[in-house]
Amino acid sequence: MNFVSIIMGSKSDYEIMKHCADTFEKFNVNYEIIISSAHRSPVRTKNYIKEAEEKGAKVFIAAAGMAAHLAGALAATTTKPVLGVPMKGGAMDGMDAMLSTVQMPAGMPVGTVALGRSGAINAAYLAMQILAISDSELAVKLKEDRIVQAKKVETDSKEIEVIL
């Protein structure tokens, strides 16, 4: 079974990463979601990645705040795509997590999305776009979703627009 793995560094990340899971549910994409820390449970993290790959994980999403080493730890352990979601909080309100997630050494790529809720949702969309390369049904769903988003902009505009 193909699926996307969502790994959060702590339980406090769940409130935001639930939006990632909800997005997968909207598209009927299989996912797992766990808590595992690059710092507090490195053995658990490494073991989980191996087990998830054996079960069919195709993309990993890592959500972490502050030093945000989780995405890098995943990238060092797997050759599957890793997407990092920096989480707000800490002394720099997420900027430290953003910089930690973005600054990976050459050869250890992490696709980094926005902070917080938008990042969680965009990580799901980006993971689905990766899966859609070999899943034509999912590709169609994503194209249909773009049409719905465009129509919503037009509908919202009609509710308020004034054009001379």
Cα diameter, the chain: 64
Paired sense of beta strands 31-35 and 111-112, if any: unpaired
| 93 assigned to a ligand binding site | no
Cross-strand partners of 112: 84
| 40 assigned to a ligand binding site | yes
**3-state class (DSSP) for residue 103:** coil
| 135 assigned to a ligand binding site | no
Dihedral sign from CA coordinates of 119, 120, 124, 130? positive
Annotated binding site: 10, 13, 40
Which residues participate in the annotated binding site for substrate? 10, 13, 40
